[in-house]
Structure 1
Amino acid sequence: MPCDKQTDYLLETLPQPVIYHSMTPQRFSTDVVPKFEPAVFKGFARDWDIVKAARQSAGDAAGYLQQRAARIVHRMVIAPADIKGRIGYNQSLDGMNFQLQDIDLARGIEQMINCDSQAQEQRCFQSVPVTSGFPALLDKIPNPLVSDTAKPFVWVGNRLTVSPHFDEANNIAVVATGRRRFTFFPPEQLANLYIGPLNYTPAGQPVSLVDLHEPDLLRFPRYAEAYQHGLSVELEAGDAVYIPSPWWHHVQSLEPFNILVNYWWSGSFVSSSMPFTFLLHGMQVTKNMTPGQRQAWKSILDHYLFDEGADPAAHIPEPARGVLGQLTPEMAAQLHQWLAQQIR
C-alpha cells in the first residue's frame, strides 16, 4: 500500500545538490571532489553540437546521432507499457521486467524517436561505448574535467526510470537531449533503500526495490529515513552532474526522447574467493581512495558482511536471495567461476 501522504515524498521537494554555473579542472579538483557529494554543472555542454541540435528539436538530435552511428548492433531494452517505464526486477524478483533485443543502432534510434506515447513500449540503449558505437562523436563531446582514460558512453531512449543504484566508478553524466531528474542518496542510506538481489541485476548493478514515486512504506518503512537524506535535481540539455562512487542515484528520463553521455573513471576493483586474499585486496583497493570513498565502501561491507544485527536479505523472498541466502555447492561453484573471470 502506498504511503498515506504521497505529497510528503515528492522528489521535486527534496533539496538540490550544489549547483555550479562554471567549472574548470582546477576547481573540480579542489572544490568539488573533496566534498564527496553530487554536484551539478549548469550549461557544461552548451556548446556541444548535439546539444545545439536538441535545442532545435528531438528529431534533429536523433538525426545527428543516427548519422554518427556505426553499423553495429547493440542490445536494446524494451519495456512493456504496463511497467510505466520503471525498469528493474519483476514482481517475483526472479528475473527482469523488460525484454532485450539486439538491433542496429540507427534503426533502434528510429524506433525510439517514433515512440510518442507512454502507452507504447518504451525503448533504450544503455551504455553504448562511443569508441565503437559512435566514433564520429568522439571529438564533438569534450570533457576537460576527466582524463583520456575516462571513455564516454551514450544512453539514448524514451521515458524510462532506473531505480536507485550505485556505480563502482566516479561518474560525470551530461544531458545531451531532453530532461532528466537525478535523485541521490548517501552511501550510508543503503539499508534504507531495500536493495534487490545481487547475483542478477538489471544492468550490472543491484537496484532498490522502492518505487520512489509511490513508496510503499508498509513494505519498505525505512525508506522514510532515506528520503530525509535525499537530494534531487532536474537537468536540461547541456547540464551535467558529478556522481562520486558509490552514491546511490535514481534517474528518470522525462521527455519522449532523451540522450545522455557519461564518463566513468576509478581504480581497479578486483575480487577473490579466499578470505585472506580478500583482506589483501581490500587494502590494495582502499589505499588510494579518498576518505569519503573509503567510508562509503565500509558502509556497504558492514551491511552485507559484518553487521550481525540485521539480515540484509530479509526483504527479499528466499527463492530470490541468490548469494544473499543459503550458499549451495552449485552456487558456490558458479560464484567461484565468476570471480575467476573477474581477475583474469
Structure 2
Amino acid sequence: MGTIGFALIAENQEENMGEVEGALRIRRFEQPPSPEDFSSLIESSNVPAVFVGVVNDWKAFSSWNPYNGGLDYLEEQVGSATVDAMLSTSAPVFYGDLRRHERVPLSFSTFITSCKMYLQHGDSLKKNFGFGEMLTDPNEAQSTLLDSPDKVYLAQVPILLLDSKERCPLENLMEDIQMPTFLKTKQMSAINLWMNKAQSRSSTHYDPHHNLLCVIAGCKQVFLWPPSASPFLQPMPIYGEASNHSSLNVDNPDLLGNTRVQNSMEDAQKVILHSGDALFIPEGWFHQVDSDDLTIAVNFWWKSVMMTNMSEHMEAYYLRRILSRMLEQEKDKMLCKSSFASLRCKQIAEISNDSPAGDDASDSVVQRDTIKGDAEQHGVILEQLEPFALLALHELISLVHNTINSSGKNQIKESHSLVALDINAEDEHMQTRRENLLLLENDPIASLFWTIEPLVLRKIFQAMVHYFPRTLEALVLHMLSPISAEVLTRKFDEMDQQTTKEQQKEFYQMFYSVFDDQHAAMDAILNGKEIFAFQAYKNVLDLYLGVNDIKIS
C-alpha cells in the first residue's frame, strides 16, 4: 500500500458549504504521497486535495516569515528587481478582468518597504485608505503605494518560466524553494510568487493548468467549485479576455435575488490553508482565494495529462462530442425540472388506481399489444382501452377540438408557425413566449404525453387512427410545440424498445397513413424536436460559456 493508504483521513476535516457528492469532496493528507500515488489516485481524479505541512522543510518557510525578519531577507535577495504589480480600485477584491485592474512596474524593494510600514502601522494605514482612480503612472504608483496598502497585490509574479528563455526577476528565490517530491515527474509550466500586504480577495476563476498552491507565510481561505458548477458561477463569455473568470460580484453577491448564486454557495467547499500547507487545485476548478495580512505563497503550474496528450487534429471532434453530450444532459434537465410533470403523474396514477383493472391495467395493455387481427391492423377498439387511457384520449381530442373551435383552422396554422418559433425574432414578448413554450407545465399536450406509458400511448394513437384520423392529423401538423415533439419522439423510442421490429413497422405504417403528406407530418415532428434541441444548445452556451445571444439565419 502506498503512502496514501496510511495518510488519508477518512472524514473530510475541511468545511463544506453545502452537500457535495462524495466523489468530489476534498481530501486531506497528513503525509505527502509518493509520485505514483499522486498521479494515479489524486491527480487522475481531478479533485482538490490538501497536503498538511508539505512546505515546512523549505528554506523559504523560515527565511521569508514577515514577522521574523523575512522582509529584510527578501529585500536583500531580490530587492533590486522590478516586478509587475496588480493595481485595482476594487481592492481589497482583485478581479481578473483587464477592465478592472492594471499591471504597473514596481520596484520589489518599494513593495517590501510598504510591507514593513504596514507591519508597523497597519491599523492607521487602513483608516487612511480610500478608493480612487486607477494609477496609470508608474512613478505615481511608487509614490502612493505606501499610503494605499490595499490597492496593490503581487499576483502571479514569475519566479521561473519553463517555456521562456528569459531570466525572471525573482529567479534567485528558487534557491529557497523545493519541488514537492510528488511533483518530481511533472513538467512544470511556471512557478509564481503571490504576496499581499493587507487582506485581499481574488475573484472567482479557474486555471487552464493543474495548480499546487503552497502557503509559506500567513493564511489563505479558498472556496472551490467543480467545473460542473459553471452555470451557477456565471462565467465570463468564452470569447472575452477574462473567459476563465466568473462574472459574479464576489464582494457583494446578490444572494436573495439570484438563484444561481444561491446554488453556487451550495456547491462550494471551503479550505483553510495555514503556513506550510499546500492545496492541489485541478484544472478547471473554480476557486476564490482570501488572504490574510502579509501572506506569501508560491504556486506550481503544469499541464494535465489529458491536455498534454490531446492531438490538435482531434480537438474539433472532441468539442462536438462534448457539446453533444452536454446538449443531451440539458434536454433532460429541461424536461425533468418541471414540478408540474410530477403533479400530472400523480393525477394520472390516482385515476389509474381507481380503474377497475387495478394494478393489472398496464399489464393487460402489454398483453393485448401482441394480439393479431383487425385490432392490430386497423386500430384498437375503444373498449380495449383502460379507463385512464380513455380519459387521456378524451383529453387529447378535447385539446385539439377546443383549439379548432376557438381559433379556426387558419389560426391554428398561424399558431403552428408560432410554435415552430421564429428564432431570429428580436421582440422581447416573442422571446418570453418562446421560452414559455419550452416549459412542460405550459404545454398541456406535452405534459399529457409525458404522463402516459409508451405502450398505452401506442394504443391511444391506434384508436385515433381508427376513429379520429383528422384529429390526429391536426394534432401533429398544427399543435405540436417543440417540447411536445421532443416528448413524443422519446415516447416513440420507448415504444420501440418494448416491441418487435415487425410491430414497429406495422405501427408506424398505421400512424402515418392518416396524413395526405407523410413527409410533412415527419417534418413537423422533427422540426419541433430540433427547435427544442436548439434551445437546449443555447442554454449550454449561456450556462457554461457565457454566450446568450446566439441566433441562426
* Same topology, TM > 0.5: yes
Q: What is the identity, as a one-letter code, of the residue corresponding to 1:35?
A: S
Find the aligned partners of 2:290 and 2:297 in 1 and give their Cα distance.
Answer: 12
Q: What is the identity, as a one-letter code, of the residue corresponding to 2:246?
A: S
**Residue 205 and residue 134 in structure 1: after superposition, are their counterparts in 2 closer, same or farther (change >3 A)?**
farther
**Residue 186 and residue 299 in structure 1: after superposition, are their counterparts in 2 closer, same or farther (change >3 A)?**
farther
C-alpha deviation, 1:75, in angstroms: 1.6
1:154 to 172, 188, 193: 193
1:225 to 260, 263, 276: 263
SS in 2 for 1:96: helix
2:93 to 86, 98, 107: 86
**Residue 136 and residue 260 in structure 1: after superposition, are their counterparts in 2 closer, same or farther (change >3 A)?**
same
Question: How do residues 321-340 of structure 1 correspond to structure 2 at under 5 angstroms?
Answer: none
Q: What is the identity, as a one-letter code, of the residue corresponding to 1:76?
A: A
C-alpha contact 1:180 1:251 (8 A) present in aligned 2: yes
C-alpha deviation, 1:229, in angstroms: 1.8
SS in 1 for 2:223: strand
Residue 411 of structure 2 corresponds to: none
Find the aligned partners of 1:40 and 1:239 in 2 and give their Cα distance.
Answer: 7
Q: Deviations over 1:236-292 (max 9, x none)?
A: 11110001111111111122x12110111115969xxxxxx9873346899xxxxxx
The answer to which structure has the higher helix fraction is 2
C-alpha contact 1:59 1:113 (8 A) present in aligned 2: no
Question: How do residues 250-261 of structure 1 correspond to structure 2 at under 5 angstroms?
Answer: 250-255=288-293, 257-261=294-298
**Residue 75 and residue 136 in structure 1: after superposition, are their counterparts in 2 closer, same or farther (change >3 A)?**
closer
Residue 101 of structure 2 corresponds to: 98
Residue 331 of structure 1 corresponds to: none
The alignment status of 1:140 with 2:176, answered yes or no, reads yes
The alignment status of 1:25 with 2:35, answered yes or no, reads yes
SS in 1 for 2:539: coil
Question: How do residues 54-203 of structure 1 correspond to structure 2 at under 5 angstroms?
Answer: 54=64, 57-58=66-67, 60-69=69-78, 71-80=80-89, 83-88=90-95, 96-115=99-118, 116=122, 117-119=125-127, 120=129, 121=148, 122=150, 123-131=152-160, 132-143=168-179, 144-146=181-183, 147=185, 149-150=187-188, 151-158=190-197, 159-201=199-241
1:308 to 537, 542, 546: 537
C-alpha deviation, 1:50, in angstroms: 2.0
C-alpha deviation, 1:157, in angstroms: 1.6
**Residue 104 and residue 206 in structure 1: after superposition, are their counterparts in 2 closer, same or farther (change >3 A)?**
same
Q: What is the identity, as a one-letter code, of the residue corresponding to 1:32?
A: I
C-alpha deviation, 1:29, in angstroms: 2.1
Residue 41 of structure 1 corresponds to: 51
Find the aligned partners of 2:243 and 2:171 in 1 and give their Cα distance.
Answer: 26
Question: How do residues 246-285 of structure 1 correspond to structure 2 at under 5 angstroms?
Answer: 246-255=284-293, 257-266=294-303, 280-282=314-316
Higher relative CO (CA 8 A, sep ≥ 6), structure 1 or 2?
1
Q: Deviations over 1:13-68 (max 9, x none)?
A: 6277211111132332233223221100010101112211355x446233333222
Residue 410 of structure 2 corresponds to: none
SS in 1 for 2:182: coil
Find the aligned partners of 2:270 and 2:284 in 1 and give their Cα distance.
Answer: 16
**Residue 54 and residue 230 in structure 1: after superposition, are their counterparts in 2 closer, same or farther (change >3 A)?**
same
SS in 1 for 2:78: coil
Q: Which runs of 5+ in 1 are unaligned?
A: 1-10, 271-276, 287-293, 328-344
Cα-Cα RMSD: 3.9
C-alpha contact 2:187 2:303 (8 A) present in aligned 1: no
Q: Which runs of 5+ in 2 are unaligned?
A: 1-13, 19-24, 130-147, 161-167, 331-533
Find the aligned partners of 2:326 and 2:224 in 1 and give their Cα distance.
Answer: 16
**Residue 108 and residue 283 in structure 1: after superposition, are their counterparts in 2 closer, same or farther (change >3 A)?**
farther
Q: Looking at CA atoms only, which structure, 1 or 2, has the larger radius of gyration?
A: 2
Find the aligned partners of 2:269 and 2:169 in 1 and give their Cα distance.
Answer: 33
**Residue 217 and residue 18 in structure 1: after superposition, are their counterparts in 2 closer, same or farther (change >3 A)?**
same
TM-score by length of 1: 0.69
**Residue 309 and residue 185 in structure 1: after superposition, are their counterparts in 2 closer, same or farther (change >3 A)?**
same
C-alpha contact 1:69 1:133 (8 A) present in aligned 2: yes
SS in 2 for 1:44: coil
The alignment status of 1:14 with 2:41, answered yes or no, reads no
Identity among equivalent positions (%) equals: 19
**Residue 99 and residue 69 in structure 1: after superposition, are their counterparts in 2 closer, same or farther (change >3 A)?**
same
C-alpha contact 1:181 1:235 (8 A) present in aligned 2: yes
C-alpha contact 1:68 1:135 (8 A) present in aligned 2: no
C-alpha contact 2:30 2:53 (8 A) present in aligned 1: yes
Q: What is the identity, as a one-letter code, of the residue corresponding to 2:108?
A: L
C-alpha contact 1:109 1:157 (8 A) present in aligned 2: no
**Residue 192 and residue 283 in structure 1: after superposition, are their counterparts in 2 closer, same or farther (change >3 A)?**
same
The answer to which structure has the higher strand fraction is 1
C-alpha deviation, 1:295, in angstroms: 7.7
Q: What is the identity, as a one-letter code, of the residue corresponding to 1:96?
A: R
Q: Deviations over 1:134-188 (max 9, x none)?
A: 2222132112222463131111123221121111110101011111111100101
C-alpha contact 1:187 1:299 (8 A) present in aligned 2: no
C-alpha contact 2:237 2:243 (8 A) present in aligned 1: no
